[in-house]
Amino acid sequence: MTFDPSPSRQKTDESRTRLFSIDAWEGGEKNARDDRLVVEEPMEIRLLFGPQEKRAVRSLSVTMRTPGEDEELAAGFLFTEGILHSPEQIEAIEARGTDAAGQPTGNTIRVALRPEVEVDFAKLQRHFYTSSSCGVCGKASLEMLELRGARTVETTWTISAEAIRQLPDRLRAAQPTFELTGGLHAAGLFNSAGQLQSVREDVGRHNAVDKLFGRAFLDRQMPLDRFGLVISGRVSFEIMQKALAARVPIIIAVGAPTSLAVELAAQYGLTLVGFTSAKRMNVYAGGKRVGN
């Protein structure tokens, strides 16, 4: 399996960044200058589904994201949420939407499913309501994964501690838009030698992961059980759930994990490493995959 991690796959054009005039204070002095910031815009995912004679369009989700790789983001979201299982279920993915002046924005992504794909939209709505509810406890969240058929990840490949500690710096070096703005998260796939195979950036950690997995899904490269996932920032239950859906056995985070992320890792046989840097790291679960 091969991925293309080249910068050409990572857009750094005006659609991803924007210049703002600011007052910069340093050492008690004020200077006017321009500052380049990352763009954040909403993206709506709509589903077109049903038999040919009864096609329906429904809004499924709205997320704040950095424009670029929107097809990957939509596909990755639908895959990691268990809505799609194969790219063959997709008939087309189209960018739509206009601004107040009627100019195209591309901020609405319509995913047309093949007529034979069955979708229980009422069930989907209940799923997303429950997933976003603050009243859902950790036990219920883990039980929800069991109901969706989540299985323990059995892969046994290992990676050295030294290779793990190099990953944050390698991920940082592969972020062209972060270099311009300092305002983006990133997610990357790496092999057992700690070499990055693919990287995606976005203002949201979840979106960066969905873009990364969405590309692999559309390229028919699932499962990703021979690769690990490295992310900037902290790692939450949602990130771990997406990794489990893609069958990624090792997750490396620059920041802290949440308690539920560690519980999920322990229950499903995942390796979870947090607070990773060139000098330190904490292994929270699955230490058998980390070698000297």
Q: What share of the chain is helix, strand, coil (3-state, %, to 5)?
A: 35, 30, 35
Contacts (Cβ under 8 Å, ≥6 apart) of 201: 10, 66, 175, 176, 177, 178, 184, 185, 186, 208
Spatial distance between the Cα atoms of 171 and 222, rounded to a whole number of angstroms: 22
Task: Pull the structure tokens for residue 9.
Answer: 């796959």
Amino acid at 173: A
Contacts (Cβ under 8 Å, ≥6 apart) of 206: 63, 238, 239, 242
Spatial distance between the Cα atoms of 123 and 199, rounded to a whole number of angstroms: 33
Element (H, E) at 96: strand 90-98
Question: Given its phi and psi angles, is residue 157 left (phi above 0), alpha (psi -120 to 50 degrees) or beta?
Answer: beta
Spatial distance between the Cα atoms of 156 and 226, rounded to a whole number of angstroms: 9
Active site residue 137: no
Please tell me which residue in 32, 100, 134, 147 is annotated as part of the active site.
Answer: 134
- At 149 the three-state DSSP class reads coil
Determine the angle formed by the axes of helices 237-246 and 259-268, rounding to 10 degrees: 20
Decide: residue 79, CB within 10 A, 0-12 exposed, 13-18 middle, 19+ buried.
buried
Task: Pull the structure tokens for residue 218.
Answer: 């559309």
Residue pointed to by tokens 């895959």: 79
Bridge partners (DSSP) of residue 18 are: 37
Active-site residue numbers? Answer: 134
